[in-house]
Amino acid sequence: MNAPTPAQHLQRPVPPAMLAALRAAFGERCNTALSVREQHGRGESVYDAAPPEAVVFCESNEDVMTVVRLAAAHGVPVIPYGTGTSLEGHLLAVQGGVSIDLSRMNRVLRLNAEDLTVTVQAGVTREQLNREIRDSGLFFPIDPGANASLGGMAATRASGTNAVRYGTMRENVLGLTVITASGELMHTGTRAKKSSAGYDLTRLFVGSEGTLGVMTEITLKLYPLPEAVSAAICHFPSIDAAVQTTIQTIQMGVPIARCELLDANAIRAVNLHSKLGLREAPMLLMEFHGSEAGVQEQAETVQALAAEHGGEAFQWAKTPEERTRLWTARHQAYFAALQLRPGCRCQSSDTCVPISRLAESINESVAEAEASGIPYWIVGHVGDGNFHLSYLMDPNDAAEAAKVEELNVRMVRRALRLEGTCTGEHGVGLHKMGYLLEEAGAPAVAAMRAIKQALDPQNIMNPGKVFALQPV
């Protein structure tokens, strides 16, 4: 499936002089092999690759500054790359240009356990971070499933399974080092927990999808490992029953740490992939964090709510190993599901609504998915009002692709009607530009455009994403 190619996607070729300068500066770290370029010009979206002309493997802020300054001098796009797990086409070089691979900027620069903060390079992945800080008694909770880089997670304002309790990247990034569109190094934020000092540049860059600058270092909040953790699964007679239980849990203020919905299709996928042997019926996978007494209290409250909706007795994952097995299976749902339909691509849509509207948001979408006859599966960070409906589509069947897109439109418009958002955590990328305009409205998109033009006047930072630079 090709990416959309509106008029704004004019190619901006890398001039030979710039390529020569990159090669002189980076040697073999400037790579123009097709396979490398193709790998860097896609992601996990349904789109075919739109490869950059070169990939530069950066190892320092100075490296990134060198690439950006050359790009600025030649008016050539740059696209930051972390682990390539984007779902919405963020990495496609739709106007050509150079991919800035940050995966070698993978050092945990500074752990301040006494302040519950850590500063990392953008290429550090969330799993690596938690491995490296394990001995501190602290952890970083944000967990979008994929072992994404923290730079990529900041760029898309990622969240995932723990966000219901610990917030998203929005709440957990304290400060940034950014290479600006002119190749200058800029710091935002401090290590203080709060500040009223000037515009909140940190949160402007978090979620900007590489379109305002390249984030190279990130200071994050950490949390003490809870004294007690317990995970449970609970089967329900219907998706609606699971969702109603979730809604009441949130409304009561239970500080549940994870509250994940899996439909029967998702369970079938993870059963096949991870040999879990779970019953293929709608299920909540939950985790509780706190003191021993606190965890028990939370679980009893939610069990009582579940029972009111026909939920079964909780099955507990008591050991860390059992919990890891369950969560690993949950995180592999995406790849597991791909195996349900050989040769398929997965078109995953991601909406988020106010918690009281979640049942309507999910139930109507499920009914449409069922009626479509196209294989689908559902998982959701339902405690946040966020869920993902993913279609397993034949990439060579244009009619099916069109049908899936139509179902997506209906699902997104439903979320907007319910006062929600077109993307809870995947970002806008290429795919949701039209939806962003519907959601935010013309004045807000005009403000975003003005900010983009002010900070990146040549439009070289990941151009062609999030919104059209000219009003459409």
Report the site for a second copy in 43-72 (rule: CB under 8 A): none
From the CB of 309, what's the least distance to a second copy, in Å? 16
Nearer to a second copy, 402 or 472 (CB): 472
From the CB of 67, what's the least distance to a second copy, in Å? 18
Binding-site size, a second copy (CB under 8 A): 90
Q: Find the binder of a second copy among 76, 93, 206, 259 (CB under 8 A).
A: 206
- Contacts of a second copy in 428-457 (CB under 8 A): 428, 432, 435-436, 439-441, 443-445, 447-448, 450-451, 453-455
Q: Find the binder of a second copy among 148, 302, 352, 389 (CB under 8 A).
A: 352
List the Cα angle 156/78/441 in 5-degree steps: 45
Nearer to a second copy, 16 or 443 (CB): 443
Q: Find the binder of a second copy among 426, 431, 459, 461 (CB under 8 A).
A: 426
C-alpha 287/C-alpha 183 separation (Å) is 44
Q: Find the binder of a second copy among 61, 240, 279, 294 (CB under 8 A).
A: 294
The alpha carbon dihedral of 134, 214, 421, 94 has a sign of negative
From the CB of 413, what's the least distance to a second copy, in Å? 13
- Contacts of a second copy in 307-346 (CB under 8 A): none
Regarding 423 and contact with a second copy (CB under 8 A), the answer is yes
From the CB of 14, what's the least distance to a second copy, in Å? 26
- Contacts of a second copy in 226-265 (CB under 8 A): 226, 247, 250-253
Nearer to a second copy, 59 or 209 (CB): 209
Q: Find the binder of a second copy among 8, 31, 61, 112 (CB under 8 A).
A: 112
Nearer to a second copy, 201 or 267 (CB): 201
Nearer to a second copy, 199 or 277 (CB): 199
From the CB of 141, what's the least distance to a second copy, in Å? 12
Beta carbons of 213 and 180 less than 8 angstroms apart: yes
From the CB of 226, what's the least distance to a second copy, in Å? 8
In SS3 terms, the chain reads as CCCCCCCCCCCCCCCHHHHHHHHHHHHHHEECCHHHHHHHCCCCCCCCCCCCCEEEECCCHHHHHHHHHHHHHHCCCEEEECCCCCCCCCCCCECECEEEECCCCCCEEEEEHHHCEEEEECCCEHHHHHHHCHHHCEECCCECCCCCEHHHHHHCCCCECCHHHHCCHHHHEEEEEEECCCCCEEEEECCCCCCCCCCCHHHHHCCCCCCCCEEEEEEEECEECCCEEEEEEEECCCHHHHHHHHHHHHHCCCCCCEEEEECHHHHHHHHHHHCCCCCCCCEEEEEEEECHHHHHHHHHHHHHHHHHCCCCCCEEECCHHHHHHHHHHHHCHHHHHHCCCCCCEEEEEEEECCHHHHHHHHHHHHHHHHHHCCCEEEEEEHHHCEEEEEEEECCCCHHHHHHHHHHHHHHHHHHHHCCCECCCCCCCCCCCHHHHHHHHCHHHHHHHHHHHHHHCCCCCECCCCCCCCCCC
From the CB of 450, what's the least distance to a second copy, in Å? 4
Q: Find the binder of a second copy among 11, 291, 315, 319 (CB under 8 A).
A: 291
- Contacts of a second copy in 379-398 (CB under 8 A): 384-386
From the CB of 353, what's the least distance to a second copy, in Å? 6
From the CB of 4, what's the least distance to a second copy, in Å? 17
From the CB of 86, what's the least distance to a second copy, in Å? 11
Nearer to a second copy, 235 or 465 (CB): 465
Q: Find the binder of a second copy among 91, 142, 163, 302 (CB under 8 A).
A: 163
- Contacts of a second copy in 166-205 (CB under 8 A): 167-168, 170-171, 180, 184-188, 190-201, 203-204
- Contacts of a second copy in 130-159 (CB under 8 A): 156-159
From the CB of 255, what's the least distance to a second copy, in Å? 8
C-alpha 407/C-alpha 400 separation (Å) is 10
Nearer to a second copy, 96 or 290 (CB): 290
Nearer to a second copy, 80 or 420 (CB): 420
Nearby residues of 239 by Cβ (< 8 Å), 6 or more positions away = 261, 263, 282, 362, 363, 366, 378
